[in-house]
Amino acid sequence: MSSTVAGPAGSDRPSVAWIGLGIMGSPMAENLIKAGYPVTGYTLEPEKLQRLATAGGTAAGSVAEAVRDADVIITMVPASPQVEAVAYGPDGILENARPGTLLIDMSSITPGTSVALAEAAAAKGVRVLDAPVSGGEAGAIEAVLSIMVGGDQADFDVARPLFDALGKTVVHCGPHGAGQTVKAANQLIVAVNIQACAEAVVFLEKSGVDLPAALDVLGGGLAGSTVLARKRDNFLRRDFAPGFRIDLHHKDMGIVTDAARAVGAAIPAGALVAQLVAALRAQGDGGLDHSALLRAVERLSAPAA
C-alpha cells in the first residue's frame, strides 16, 4: 500500500467495510458516512444492517461480500474469538480482502491476538492496525473517542483522517499490540474509578448528604473525572441501560490481569475490582452498564435481613 488509500471512482474518500455494528460500531460507522466515506457494513443483526442503510450505508450479506472491494476494513466486535472468527477461514477477511487493503481492528482484544493477526495478514499483503477506543456509547455518538493505535507509523498516517472522523484524541502508541496494551490500562483505570465513585455515592447517601450537590462539587475538584461526569446521571437515576456492558468489562479485566501477570506488574486494586466485576456478572447483571457496580456496593451495604 502506498502512503495514501485510493478511493472508489468519483470519490475522494476510500471505501470502508465495517464489520460489527453493535452499541459502539453503529454510531461510529454512521460518523464515517457523515464524513463522506462510502461504508459497506456487515453484522449478525438484521436490524443493525437496516439502520446502516437508513444512514446512507450499504448492507452486505457476509464478511466476504463486505470486504471484497474495500480499501479499508474496520472491525468492531466484542472480543478476541469474534475477531478471529471474522478474520480467518475461507469466508473471512484475510481470504477475501485485496492485497494492499488496510485492516483496522477497533475491538478490545488481547495484545497477543493483535500481533498474531498482523503477522497472518502480512502474509496476505494486508496491513493491520490495532486501534481500540475509549469513550463509551456517548463518545462514539459524539465522535469524541480516544483512539490508541498500534502498528506501523506509515499505516497510522494513512488511517489518521478516518480516526479524526471518529475521535478527538488519536495517538500512535507503538508497534502491533501497543494499542491493545494501552486499552487494557484504560479499562483498569475506568473500572477502579467507577468502583470508587460507586462507593462514594453509597457513602454520601447513607450519610444523608444531598447527592446531586455532592457530585457537583466533587466533579469540580481533584476527584473530578470523565468517569464521574459521564456516569453521574447513571448513579443518580439508577439507569444502567448499557453504554458499555459489565460482560465486556469483565472480559477486559481478564485481559489486563493476564497481561500484567505476564510482565510482572502488580495491580492489587485492579485485581480486587476484577473480582467485583466478576461477582456482579455472576449475580445476573452482566448485560447492564458498568456503572451498575453501584448495585454491588448497595448489596454489600444493605442491612442484614
pLDDT band at residue 106, thresholds of 50, 70 and 90? very high
CATH 3.40.50.720 location in the chain? 16-175
Note the pLDDT tens digit of each residue in 68-82: 999 999 999 999 999
Instruction: Name the grid cell of 184.
Output: 487494557
Q: Over range 174-201, report the average pLDDT.
A: 98
Active site residue 183: yes
Note the pLDDT tens digit of each residue in 85-97: 999 999 999 999 9
Q: What is the pLDDT of residue 38?
A: 98
CATH 1.10.1040.10 location in the chain? 182-301
pLDDT band at residue 57, thresholds of 50, 70 and 90? very high
Specify the amino acid at residue 149: V
Instruction: Name the grid cell of 170.
Output: 488519536
Note the pLDDT tens digit of each residue in 155-184: 999 999 999 999 999 999 999 999 999 999
Q: Specify whether the backbone of 68 is left (phi greater than 0), alpha (psi in -120 to 50) or beta.
A: alpha
Q: What is the pLDDT of residue 5?
A: 56
Mean pLDDT, the chain, whole residue set? 95
Distance CA 20, CA 42 (A): 6
Distance CA 288, CA 280 (A): 10
Mention every residue, 6+ apart, whose C-beta is less than 8 A from residue 80. 109, 110, 113
Residue-wise over 181-220: b if at least 16 C-beta within 10 A, else e? Answer: bbbbbbbbebbbbbbbbbbbbbebeeeeeebeebbeebee
pTM: 0.90
If we measure between CA atoms, which residue out of 278, 302, 277 comes closest to residue 291? 277
Q: What is the pLDDT of residue 2?
A: 41
CATH architecture assigned to 182-301 = Orthogonal Bundle (1.10)
Question: For the structural domain made of 16-175, what CATH number should be given?
Answer: 3.40.50.720
Q: Which of 48, 124, 168, 183 is catalytic?
A: 183
Distance CA 170, CA 116 (A): 23
Q: What is the pLDDT of residue 1?
A: 37
